[in-house]
A and B are shown apart, each in its own frame.
Chain A
Amino acid sequence: MTDAVRTQGLFKRYGPQVAVAGVDLVVPAGSFAGLVGPNGAGKTTTLSMITGLLRPDGGRAEVDGLDVWRDQVQVKARIGVLPEGLRLFERLSGRELLHYSGRLRGIPKADVLGRAEDLLQVMDLAGAADKLVVDYSTGMRKKIGLAAALLHNPSVLFLDEPFEGVDPVSANTLTEVLQRFTASGSTVIFSSHVMDLVERLCDWVSVMNGGHIVAQGPLEKVRGDRSLNDTFLALVGGQRDGGDTGLTWLGAKNLGAKDLGAGDLGSRNLPGGDLGAGDGEPK
Chain B
Amino acid sequence: MSTVALFAQLKLRLLAGNLRGDLSRKLGFVFTLVMAVLLAALGFFLMSLIRLAPHDIATDIVIVVYTFFLIGWMIVPLLAFGLDDTIDPARLSLFPLSTGRLALGMFTASATGVWPAATLIVTAGALAGLATGVGGLLVGLVAVLLQFALCLVTSRLITTALSGALRTRRGRDVLAVAAIFVVLLAQLPNLLVNSDLGDPLAILRGTADAFRWAPSGLAAHAISDGGLVGLAELAVLALIVLLVGWLWIKALSRALVMPDSSTQAASVRKESGLVDRFLPDGPLAAVVTKELKYIRREPRFRVGWFSAVVVTVVLAFSLGNSIGDSSGGEVGPWLAILLTSSGALMIALQSGNAYGIDGPSIWMNVVACGSEESFRTDLAGRHLANAALATPVLLLISVAASLFSGNPGAIVPALLAGWGALGIGLGVGSVTSVTIPYTVPERLNAFSGAAPGQGGQAFASSMGALLGIMALSLPFVVPIALGWTWVCVLAPFYGLLVETLGRRLGAKIGFARLPELVAAVSRPT
Contact = CB atoms under 8 A, between A and B. Distances in A.
Interface in B421-444: none
A91 B177 CA distance: 16
A273 to B, nearest CB: 5
A279 B358 CA distance: 24
Nearest to A73: B370
B96 A262 contact: yes
A74 interface: yes
A92 B6 contact: no
Contacts of B364: 88-89, 101, 104, 148
A130 B269 CA distance: 8
Contacts of B85: 275, 279
B318 interface: no
A52 B271 contact: no
B286 A99 contact: yes
B99 interface: no
Contacts of A90: 361
Given A101-B368, A104-B287, A105-B283, A269 B95 contact: yes
A2 to B, nearest CB: 21
A85 interface: yes
B14 A103 contact: no
A77 B367 CA distance: 9
B9 interface: yes
Nearest to A158: B367
Interface core residue of A53, A92, A272 (most chain B CB under 10 Å) = A272
Interface string A235-270: 000000000000000000000000000100111011
A111 to B, nearest CB: 10
Interface in B44-97: 85, 91, 95-97
Interface stretch (A20-28, A118-126, A131-139): A131-139
Interface stretch (B219-227, B469-477, B512-520): B512-520
B283 A87 contact: no
A275 B14 contact: yes
B325 interface: no
Contact of A131 (B19, B95, B268): B268
Contacts of B515: 52-55
Contacts of A262: 96-98
B290 A89 contact: yes
Interface residues of A, number: 54
A278 to B, nearest CB: 9
Contacts, number: 147
Contacts of A275: 10, 13-14, 85, 91
A216 B2 CA distance: 57
Contacts of A134: 169
Contact of A91 (B9, B14, B293, B518): B293
A104 B268 CA distance: 21
Contact of B16 (A51, A265, A276, A283): A276
A108 interface: yes
Interface in A93-127: 93, 96, 99-101, 103-106, 108-109
Interface residues of B, number: 61
A280 interface: yes
A76 interface: yes
B96 A109 contact: no
A103 B282 contact: yes
Given A104-B365, A105-B283, A76 B370 contact: yes
A238 B265 CA distance: 44
A62 B398 CA distance: 55
A83 interface: yes
Interface core residue of A132, A148, A275 (most chain B CB under 10 Å) = A275
A279 B360 contact: no
A5 interface: no
A277 interface: yes
A72 interface: yes
A83 B365 CA distance: 13
A213 interface: no
Contacts of B522: 87
B268 A283 contact: no
B327 interface: no
A87 B16 CA distance: 30
Given A52-B514, A92-B290, A279-B14, A132 B265 contact: yes
Contacts of A55: 515-516
B114 to A, nearest CB: 17
Interface in B488-525: 514-516, 518-519, 522, 524
A210 to B, nearest CB: 23
Interface core residue of B96, B169, B268, B519 (most chain A CB under 10 Å) = B268
Contacts of A277: 17
A124 B155 CA distance: 45
A282 interface: yes
Given A87-B361, A130-B268, A279-B18, A272 B9 contact: yes
A269 B98 CA distance: 13
Interface core residue of A79, A93, A276 (most chain B CB under 10 Å) = A276
B169 A75 contact: no
Contact of B2 (A81, A148, A266): A266
Given A77-B370, A270-B97, A280-B20, 8 more contacts: A53-B366, A53-B518, A72-B370, A76-B370, A87-B359, A91-B294, A96-B268, A104-B365
Task: List the 8 shortest-distance A-B pairs measured between CB atoms, nearest first.
Answer: A272-B10, A103-B286, A73-B370, A135-B265, A280-B17, A276-B17, A87-B360, A266-B2
8 contacts: A52-B514, A52-B515, A103-B285, A104-B368, A137-B263, A262-B97, A276-B13, A276-B16
Interface of B: 2-3, 5-6, 9-11, 13-14, 16-20, 85, 91, 95-98, 169, 263, 265-268, 270-271, 276, 281-283, 285-287, 289-290, 293-294, 297-298, 358-361, 363-371, 514-516, 518-519, 522, 524
